[in-house]
Structure 1
Amino acid sequence: MQQQQQQRRSARLVLRGKVNSDSDRDNSDYDDDDDDEYRHHDDYDQKDDNVEGFNDPAYRATLRLNYINFRHAQKKLPHTVAAYVGQMASTLSEMPEPSPESVAKVIYELNELNLRDLNESGLKGVLKIHFFRQDRELPFKRHSYIRRMRLPRHLLPSNAGVADVPAFTLSRPRPDLTYGYPDRAFTMNQRSILSRLHDQIPRYAQVTYDIWFPFFAVEFKAVPELAPRGSLWVAANQCATTSAACIRAIDQLDMRLGDAGYNKHIPNLCYSLALDHNLAQLYVSWGEIKKTRPAYYFQLVDSFSLLNPEQLIRLHRWMTAIFDWGYGERLSTIRLAVDYIQQAEEQKAGQQKVASGAAKSRRPSPESSSPEWKRRRLR
């Protein structure tokens, strides 16, 4: 295993110069109710998962090679993305906040963790019980999410030029929490359309049997001194990979929408959160077409000290706003898109039926097409 990791690192470093130069060219363009766990059918497929890749020092080179780009936090967001993020930020003051007791409890228990050996399970326990829980005053009661399910590989971007080189293959992320839409969010007819979004991969936009179109992922990490593989740097690598998968699911729907004749696009952006016992980092991701191929971008939106009551409340407001968008405007847009595709399919089927009927009516009858002597005999 160690030998394979060393081979991957060596191979990455060979191409690192090329990858960095390509990435610089890409980024220069931006100067201006459920707690159910569902298991995906290929979650058991451990073949070539490259699970150690996220903490590889060269993993971000692999991300760039597969068209996933980290952007400087101080760069201006593209206009469309900035409009969505800005609109959400403008609503933060209207978002409900947790009770002072809940906030105090979180901070107290996080400080308790600092007094003893810290691990990820302890951190998850505190934040999931008191912050990421389904509580009437918190924004998760009606939301569906999955825990620790590995995302399907078909949703991960891939560079065809190095697809057969394991060292340059993206690791399959398994977020601690992934939020999306359950089957019951769609009608039976809508689910039928969704199951056929891709010609070769059924249920393409589904990360498990019951979660469609994920839009928010969370990664918990312990402090790096106690868990070398548990830094926020690693969590950001995982979030970036997961976010690209979320965007690709929407892109497939958008492609089908274009095939149906709709000339507007579905906003292909999503959010993710990386956090340890002290700090939380909120990211936005989006997709664009660069040089005739898809590219994916990942940028820090805000960071929060979890031991600061005001910043903890601000984080909660951000998350509430994200869920309001994800389960409100975004879900409505997806439903409308699926309905449009269904109507286009029905209209096309109707036109084909009419054309088929017209062709049959123009076809000569057996009597008229028979020779003259046969027609006389028929009389």
Structure 2
Amino acid sequence: MINAGVKMLMEPTSSPLSSSRKQTLEKAHRPPSVAGPNLCPPQSAVLPLTWDNLRRFDMASLSGLASSKNSGSSTPRSPRSAIAERRQLSTNLIHVHVGRGIPSSIPAGIRELIKRMKDIGRPTPDLTKADKKEIRARVVSIAARYEDNATDALLDLVFAEPCRIDRGAYPPHLGRNRDCKFIRGCVPTRDALGNAKIQAALDRVGAPKTPKPDIAFGYSSSAFSIAQALVNTAHDRIAHISQGILHPFIVLEGKSGATGGTQIEVQNRAARSAAALVHSQRTLHASAHGGDFGSPADTACFSCTTDSTTAYVWIHWCQEEEGEPHYRMKPLLRLFLDNCKAVWKLRQVVDNIFEWGLGERLERVKAVLDRIPEERAEAGGSRKRKR
């Protein structure tokens, strides 16, 4: 038996079909629906490239471009959001200085530390073709990888032989973290001190996000004595600001060219991370010295930021200005990654930072940890005498 709907189609008609008859026939011969993605009907003309037209398509990858709330690693952030974050940091007295030279306003101890880290002590060698090929391969690797896989390439770029870190070339008490989030609330925020305008500005920009540096270097537990380990445990939020390592002294931040990363983004991330490190050391120093935060050089730290074309090495410190702590960062080295000799110098400067961090800086941290029990004993004795 012939289907009724098909039979009607086969019958000749001389009168035009009514609208209701057309709908009936179209419904009868509509193909069955198939489970799958919602596809738009084919268009006979090219549609204007507008958000209204793009929303007609089920493209999840484009939704991140329309909203800054999507912060996935594969979606590039807009320059506007990075500039807004820079403004947020500045409002909270975390400043990024990108100018050249060493202004006289920088503390003398920080100026001296900059000179020491930049002093390579030996001339730049004549790089062989193999050396240049290796450096260029590292740079291309960072530019081509997505964010989640760029960390290893960043490590390979900064260190001529990354494997030496794991093979004992550095002291065994070096600790390293990768993509590990800092303790929540570790980034210093500004105190409005009852000023309504400052409070309104702080409320408007919000608090900085918790840092999660690509790589952080600090110390392992083997670097400290049993007594020092007990003090570290008592000050866990300071010592273990980055879980798994103790008292970090340098962070590495990188962005892949494949995701549209920029220097301003990695600089913002380094500013947050390093400000948290400086703040933690100031707090530790104050616990050991009756509220004295120490000199800016006593609590300084470093960072390295890279994108697909440039690299910076930064020094971070805090100095009191008009009764408020200002956290500042200043580049001690900047370079283009296509300059192989400059990359060699970058590696030497970072090597100097490691020598400082595993030598002078580690001894200073140990001295502070040794001082804290004495400070507590002295404070306890003074309270007893007052009674």
Shorter-normalised TM-score: what interval? 0.5 to 0.7
Contact 1:163 1:169 in 2 (8 A): no
How does 1:279-294 map onto structure 2 within 5 Å? 279-294=310-325
Q: Cα offset for 1:152?
A: 1.6
Q: Which residue of 2 aligns with 1:180?
A: 218
Partner residue of 1:170 out of 208, 211, 223: 208
Q: Which residue of 1 aligns with 2:3?
A: none
Structure 2 length as normaliser, TM-score? Answer: 0.66
> Does structure 1 residue 107 correspond to structure 2 residue 141?
no
Contact 1:97 1:316 in 2 (8 A): no
d(CA) in 1 for partners of 2:276 and 2:86?
Answer: 16
Contact 1:173 1:241 in 2 (8 A): yes
Q: Cα offset for 1:69?
A: 1.1
Contact 2:242 2:248 in 1 (8 A): no
How many pairs align?
A: 304
Partner residue of 1:206 out of 231, 240, 253: 240
Secondary structure of residue in 2 paired with 1:73: coil
> Does structure 1 residue 192 correspond to structure 2 residue 192?
no
Partner residue of 1:217 out of 235, 238, 251: 251
d(CA) in 2 for partners of 1:175 and 1:98?
Answer: 34
d(CA) in 1 for partners of 2:277 and 2:80?
Answer: 18
Q: Which residue of 1 aligns with 2:282?
A: 251
d(CA) in 2 for partners of 1:262 and 1:292?
Answer: 13
- Higher-Rg structure is 2
d(CA) in 1 for partners of 2:267 and 2:336?
Answer: 17
Root-mean-square deviation over aligned CA pairs: 3.9
Q: Deviations over 1:221-249 (max 9, x none)?
A: 122xx423x11110001011111001001
d(CA) in 2 for partners of 1:243 and 1:299?
Answer: 12
**Which ranges in structure 2 are unaligned for 5 or more consecutive residues?**
1-62, 70-76, 192-198
Secondary structure of residue in 1 paired with 2:238: coil
Q: Cα offset for 1:70?
A: 1.8
Q: Cα offset for 1:147?
A: 0.5
How does 1:42-61 map onto structure 2 within 5 Å? 55-61=81-87
d(CA) in 2 for partners of 1:263 and 1:53?
Answer: 37
Secondary structure of residue in 1 paired with 2:99: coil
Q: Cα offset for 1:286?
A: 0.7
**Which ranges in structure 1 are unaligned for 5 or more consecutive residues?**
8-50, 360-379
d(CA) in 2 for partners of 1:139 and 1:233?
Answer: 33
Give aligned-pair identity as a percent: 19
- CA, structure 1 residues 121+4, in 2 after alignment: closer, same or farther (shift >3 Å)? closer
Contact 1:135 1:141 in 2 (8 A): no
- CA, structure 1 residues 256+178, in 2 after alignment: closer, same or farther (shift >3 Å)? same
How does 1:1-379 map onto structure 2 within 5 Å? 55-77=81-103, 78=106, 79-90=108-119, 92-94=120-122, 103-110=131-138, 113=141, 117-121=144-148, 123-129=150-156, 131-132=158-159, 133-135=162-164, 142=172, 143-160=174-191, 161=199, 165=203, 167-197=205-235, 202-223=236-257, 226-228=258-260, 230-259=261-290, 267-346=298-377
d(CA) in 2 for partners of 1:294 and 1:57?
Answer: 22
Q: Cα offset for 1:344?
A: 3.4
- Deviating 4+ runs (over 6 angstroms): 1-7, 51-54, 95-99, 136-139, 260-266, 350-353
What is the letter of the counterpart of residue 119 of structure 1? Answer: Y
Q: Cα offset for 1:313?
A: 1.1
Q: Cα offset for 1:148?
A: 0.5
Contact 2:113 2:297 in 1 (8 A): no
Contact 1:54 1:237 in 2 (8 A): no
Q: Cα offset for 1:175?
A: 0.8
Q: Cα offset for 1:297?
A: 0.7
